[in-house]
Amino acid sequence: MKTILKTINGATDDIATDGIPSLNFTLNEQPLHEMCALQLKPIVDGRGELTELWSAPWMDAKGLVNPIHIYQSATDYGVVKAWHLHRQHTDQFAITRGKIQVVCADARQKSPTFRQYFSVIAGSHNPLLLKIPPGILHGWKALSVPEAIVVNLQSHAYDPADEIRLPWDCILQNVWEPIFR
């Protein structure tokens, strides 16, 4: 299996790249190693609601990283945006409108959660700030009409050389909600 060496804070880690479609992933009910799923707390009153998406004290307390590049994206209902991983940057995002299913699969050969995946449904009913470190494949499916809005607080400015993209159905083809049994 081809690997890409990355260095973070002087430590080297392997990210599996070739052969990802042949990996068998198993479900992990908890966020993967070095991930964070921070429960956000809407403040609701008669005028509406307010939800904090970012606070500097969360960096130390929750292991989040300082955002350098922030953007918003929309995903139309039923669309799956997957799979990709980053060599260097960390994604941190929250869903600000609608509902999505986020799936993350660990492709880091030296990680204790290598070949495991985590799936969560997030949105206004379950507001989360998700941190996804380098080497974790991730994507999502919009589950609400007409679209879902995601605000991403990245550790680095966008660089296409940092991103590895794979087809949405190359792994875990049957994971995307809704699943009708």
In a domain, 128, yes or no: yes
In a domain, 22, yes or no: yes
In a domain, 63, yes or no: yes
69: domain CATH number is 2.60.120.10
In a domain, 76, yes or no: yes
Q: Which residues contact 134 (CB under 8 A, 6 or more apart)?
A: 6, 8, 13, 15, 85, 86, 87, 88, 89, 90
The kind and range of the H/E element at 43 are strand 43-45
Domain that holds residue 152: 3-165
In a domain, 135, yes or no: yes
Per-position pLDDT tens, the chain of length 181: 444 434 333 333 566 567 888 899 999 999 999 999 999 999 999 999 999 999 999 999 999 999 999 999 999 999 999 999 999 999 999 999 999 999 999 999 999 999 999 999 999 899 999 999 999 999 999 999 999 999 999 999 999 999 999 999 999 999 998 876 5
Overall domain count for the chain? 1
In the prediction, which pLDDT does 15 show? 66
- Identify the DSSP state of 171: S
